[in-house]
Amino acid sequence: MNIKTLFVLATFCMWAGACKQNAITGRSQLQLLPESELQSMAKTQYQSFLTENKIVNTTVSKDAEMVKRVGTRISKAITEYYTKENKGSILEGYQWEFNLVDSKEVNAWCMPGGKVVVYTGILPVTQNEAALAVVMGHEIAHAIAQHGNERMSQEMLAQGLGTVGSVLTSGNATVNNIFNTVYAPGAQVGVLLPNSRKQELEADHFGLIFAAMAGYNPNEAVAFWQRMAQASSGQKPPEFLSTHPSDETRIQKVKQYAEEAMKYYTPIK
């Protein structure tokens, strides 16, 4: 994003009150769409995605069962924690779904409202349940931190939407197109398009806390990201890394985040 765009963005935020403080990260974000609208669009796109891809059945696959188990534990832990903190509204409208898709893609994603997909291609890299929790926590953190809303709002502003009186809902064709561009749920790799460095670090940070709340050792994140870096060495990076940069700086940050997340960690009995 260039300086001119940033200036326009800042001016718009002050003028229209379109920037809101995120209840999770504490950071001010541009949000032109109600989260309920994004959840509605996500629900439709998610169901369409499931009908067009091979879903691994939990009754015949321990891996699919593991994905659902990890997701359920994380979502339950998050809900309990934020309810106690009087921030239950953060998850308003969430209807969690966790599915494993048969694909060689090294990838995973979560759409607004808790619609999660993990690809079988990432399991050889996660190698264990705790590392899978690191991945799923990261993707769930993207959704709860409303990074998609922020990305869509930036794109809408760039296209001249968001002026006073504009109807910014899922019934707006341009808004739908931007949603499909940002999330691309029907593409070969359904995933939020490349995030900013700030968003990625936020997802790393809070994703580890979420995994720890669910009873998974956050220290597993370091070994996981090292394996991800190794998986991309000397070849085209896996799709997961194309939007999730892996480097020494990130691993150092993850070590710091893991240390903080240990405060929330109680091993699963």
Residues designated as active site: 139
Which residues, 6+ apart, have CB-to-CB distance to 77 below 8 Å? 210, 213, 214, 215
Is the dihedral angle over the CA atoms 112, 114, 117, 118 positive or is it negative?
Answer: positive
